Chains A and B, each alone.
Chain A
């Protein structure tokens, strides 16, 4: 008869533990080992935003699309509309164009939760995130957040669920110094910006709450109606990092959230170094 164990401990009995991908290192982790030769093929990446214009030349293609919108006549207060849709603003198309440039073969899914003025309700955003976790996405780009701290418990639950399901949530920090949810949670890839011409460059700040940064200053991005704009913002850094994570997962399938963070930290540009 085995010893009585404290709650949660039985999962750690040897023989019960789930398999964990081994990193199979033959040297130091660097960018070439992490993402060299990867195109992101086989990885599902959701963009929760204003929709995606699949016909924009910078986007290429959209594998799947869903709209989540409030509807008082539905029992849950919202409805889910699956099928192609347009981008109501251009913001989601901008993110999709960046991701396509970084990870050309990744499968992009559009989860539209924002309206014409780029406004939306936090619980609709949360429902979109839930959809992404439940529908087997590997990476989710969140270039949106809420500053209403009342939503912390709801997003805390969802981001933890994503972390344990090995769904990488890349969440843009606000552009001003204000607290936003879920951007500052340690379970997500909180992303800020730096100026660079290198779309694969990653920087790591162990002190947080902005733990990661990527290219996000004066970026040429796709926009609505087939146009493009030059934009600055953490909204455009997050899809760069999401694209890099897609490359990493395609080359090293099954990595956990903290394994991905370990590898990104190892390939990050450090003071006095150039991108490895």
Chain B
């Protein structure tokens, strides 16, 4: 099981870094649009991994974008850390007067802003990450929050995939030949909480489905497909409602 233990370590370390090229491209385009809408010098999306206690910059556009992507920051540091912790968006007109500002991180990107605004990227009551705009001429938190709502949909999909991968890897690492994989996954689900538990339970159900007849599997797939289409539709309607407010 050594290979699975390695896999667990890999999943734990990468955490929310597991984005597809398509997801990074979506987030980068979103950053660019947010930067243009707020007339800012740069915009970034950082992803929160509460397990490790880190914010990792997953995508950015504008000044210092290439340098900031991939940077990790302790989730208690910086103005982004404040936003991740408090769940509150803020606008700071002079970062040099703010002890929360992580000057060293800004310096590594080659662009040190004067002002910034940062808003949490949230799904329900959970903070997924932070959207930050540097030197916005239009420091409007409402506009930034709109882009954060869009970013939440991309992050939620990516982090769900990563969470599922991590849970499966943990389950495989503890899987012994005397116990069925589905049982191991169920037991992992019982020990998890929130999204991780739901997704691990789902993985266990997939294992059960794999043992069924072709017809049963096809029927189950149709039901899941219909549900996900319905859920995606209602999520979109929620975003539209928020924009209209």
A interface residue numbers (CB < 8 A to B): 90-91, 116-119, 144, 146-148, 150, 174-178, 218, 223-225, 227-233, 235
Complex alpha-carbon distance, A231 and B94, angstroms: 9
Can you list 17 residue pairs at the A/B interface with Cβ under 8 Å?
Answer: A90-B100, A118-B85, A119-B85, A144-B86, A147-B124, A148-B125, A175-B89, A176-B119, A176-B120, A176-B145, A177-B145, A178-B122, A227-B99, A231-B92, A232-B90, A232-B92, A235-B88
Determine if B230 is an interface residue (Cβ-Cβ < 8 Å): no
Determine if B26 is an interface residue (Cβ-Cβ < 8 Å): no
Selecting from B76-84, B169-177, B198-206, the interface stretch reads B76-84
Dominant SS among interface residues on chain B: mixed
Complex alpha-carbon distance, A224 and B92, angstroms: 17
Residues in chain A near residue B76, CB distance under 8 A? 116-117
Contact B125 A146 (CB under 8 A): yes
Complex alpha-carbon distance, A175 and B92, angstroms: 12
B167 CB to nearest A CB, Å: 24
Contact A229 B88 (CB under 8 A): no
B90 CB to nearest A CB, Å: 5
Among B57-101, those with CB < 8 Å from A are 75-76, 81-82, 84-94, 97-100
- A-B pair count, CB < 8 Å, reads 74
Residues in chain A near residue B84, CB distance under 8 A? 117
Complex alpha-carbon distance, A91 and B81, angstroms: 14
Q: Which of B87, B88, B100 contacts A233 (CB 8 A)?
A: B88
Residues in chain B near residue A235, CB distance under 8 A? 88
Number of interface residues, chain B, beta carbon within 8 A: 31
Residues in chain B near residue A224, CB distance under 8 A? 99
Question: CB-CB contacts of B127-161 with A at 8 A, as 1s and 0s?
Answer: 00000000000000110110010000000000000
Q: Which of A90, A148, A218, A223 contacts B93 (CB 8 A)?
A: A218
Given contacts A177-B145, A218-B93, contact A147 B122 (CB under 8 A): yes
Determine if B245 is an interface residue (Cβ-Cβ < 8 Å): yes
Determine if B237 is an interface residue (Cβ-Cβ < 8 Å): no
Q: Which of B81, B85, B141 contacts A176 (CB 8 A)?
A: B141
Residues in chain A near residue B122, CB distance under 8 A? 147, 178
Complex alpha-carbon distance, A177 and B85, angstroms: 18
A135 CB to nearest B CB, Å: 26
Contact A230 B124 (CB under 8 A): no
Residues in chain A near residue B125, CB distance under 8 A? 146-148, 150
